Structure 1
Amino acid sequence: MLVDSRGTVCGPELENCLPSKSRFRRLAPDNTLVDGPPLTGYYTSYPAMDREGTAVFWRDGKLLAVDADLDAHELFAMDDSRNVMNRTLLLGDGRVVVSLDSEVLTFHSPLGPLAEGPWPCGDANLRGNPVLG
């Protein structure tokens, strides 16, 4: 999950069955779920979020971005069934880095710098668990 600078929680759902009915969702202030785009596949990298509120992650052979309006954008796709359970890194110049098994893939994207917030996956969460100030 991701928590933006306003404390909004969002992220890809994980459902323990295939075919998946998972979606990218946002938790609304009234504790209801707001539906985002449906997601295919099962294994998902930990997402990162840029300053505009766009989440980016790898799922089902695709590098996906879901913007603040919950619109999905496929940034890259390949025929690949490797299981990914690693972090997604978002570097300052829009580069996105994911690892697939023993490979590290780097992509140029239109994304902005990593968000400032309690848990946008800063430094791949190397700074520890999220802390609200």
Structure 2
Amino acid sequence: MFESVGWSEILVLGVAGLFILGPERLPAAAAWLGRSIRKVREFATGAREQLKGELGTDFDELRKPLQDLQQLRNFDPRQIVAKQLFGGDDTNGSTKPNGFAATQPAIPPAPAPKPDPPKLNPGERPPIDPDAT
């Protein structure tokens, strides 16, 4: 439920609660929050058990797509795209789904540096390239 909340966020909330509520009311507020979270969890568990009892095997069929979505949430989009573009589902990584080998393209050699243009004499006009204008 709170898996995306880290320790630093909890610490900030605790310090903010200390300033807002004060040291006298903070323990009572923390106890109330704990009881409320426990009640919500009990309600959710009860509702899940009631649905499971009423739906039977259909509950598992309804829950399967939700589990698939939960698994997709854990994937990194860059990994998914890279996997689709460069690698298939095979374990050795030798062929892609289209049957072609998953080899890296050859790196072309670096182009040779262009020689510096000739120096112009004072007052001389540079050459004009009519195709470039």
Asked if TM exceeds 0.5, the reply is no
Question: Whose RCO is larger (CA < 8 A, sep 6+)?
Answer: 1
Q: State TM-score, norm by structure 1.
A: 0.20
Q: State TM-score, norm by structure 2.
A: 0.20
Larger helix proportion, structure 1 or 2?
A: 2
Structure with the greater alpha carbon radius of gyration: 2
Larger strand proportion, structure 1 or 2?
A: 1
